[in-house]
């Protein structure tokens, strides 16, 4: 991809947001299934969207927090693959977490737990910073130039 002039393509942006959101919840489901699935009788949307599930007073709460933090790391990898620009990582991360906040509002009401806010803030920062770092590493790679003259 050539990084010259920026072309405004709203369909690309919306499709990137939708893909990023879908991958986020797919990997969150996988991490929840691995870390939380054996601790609860039934893994439901409660563990994804209800702020009362995030607790530091139970082992299950810590497992849920671990799933969210591992998912933030995976989200940085998704941004590296989908967004490809360091300048856009914070925007896409913030959009993802705002959509997550909206879904949590619909499911369980306004999150009144400080643990929910801190964990999502850390997840947002982790995803944005690691995504930017990965994208910057790609952007700063040397461009290989082949010589057109024959070696003597």
- Tell me the pLDDT tens digit for each residue of 35-55: 999 999 999 999 999 999 998
**How far apart, in whole angstroms, are the C-alpha atoms of residue 46 and residue 40?**
11
Whether residue 129 contacts residue 73, with contact meaning beta carbons closer than 8 Å, is answered with no
22: left (phi over 0), alpha (psi -120 to 50) or beta: alpha
Domain boundaries, the chain: 10-139
Instruction: Report percent pLDDT > 90 for the chain.
Output: 79
- In 3D, which of 21, 3, 30, 15 has the Cα closest to residue 99? 21
CB 58 within 8 A of CB 94: no
Q: Terminal CA-to-CA distance of the chain, rounded, Å?
A: 34
Query: Lowest-pLDDT range, 17-26, 38-47, 93-102?
Result: 38-47
Q: What is the pLDDT of residues 52-95, one digit of tens each?
A: 999 899 999 999 999 999 999 999 999 999 998 899 999 999 99
- The pLDDT of residue 5 is 63
């Amino acid at each position: 991809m050539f990084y010259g002039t920026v072309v405004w393509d709203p369909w690309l942006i919306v499709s990137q947001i939708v893909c990023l959101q879908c991958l986020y919840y797919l990997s969150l489901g996988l991490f929840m299934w691995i870390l939380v699935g054996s601790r609860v009788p039934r893994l439901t949307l409660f563990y994804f969207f209800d702020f009362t599930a995030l607790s530091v007073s139970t082992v299950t709460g810590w497992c849920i927090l671990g799933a969210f933090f591992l998912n933030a790391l995976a989200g940085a990898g998704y941004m590296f693959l989908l967004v490809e620009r360091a300048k856009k990582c914070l925007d896409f991360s913030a959009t993802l977490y705002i959509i997550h906040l909206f879904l949590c509002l619909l499911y369980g009401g306004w999150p009144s737990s400080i643990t929910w806010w801190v964990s999502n803030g850390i997840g947002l920062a982790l995803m944005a910073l690691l995504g930017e770092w990965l994208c910057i590493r790609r952007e700063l790679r040397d461009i290989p130039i082949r010589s057109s003259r024959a070696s003597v």
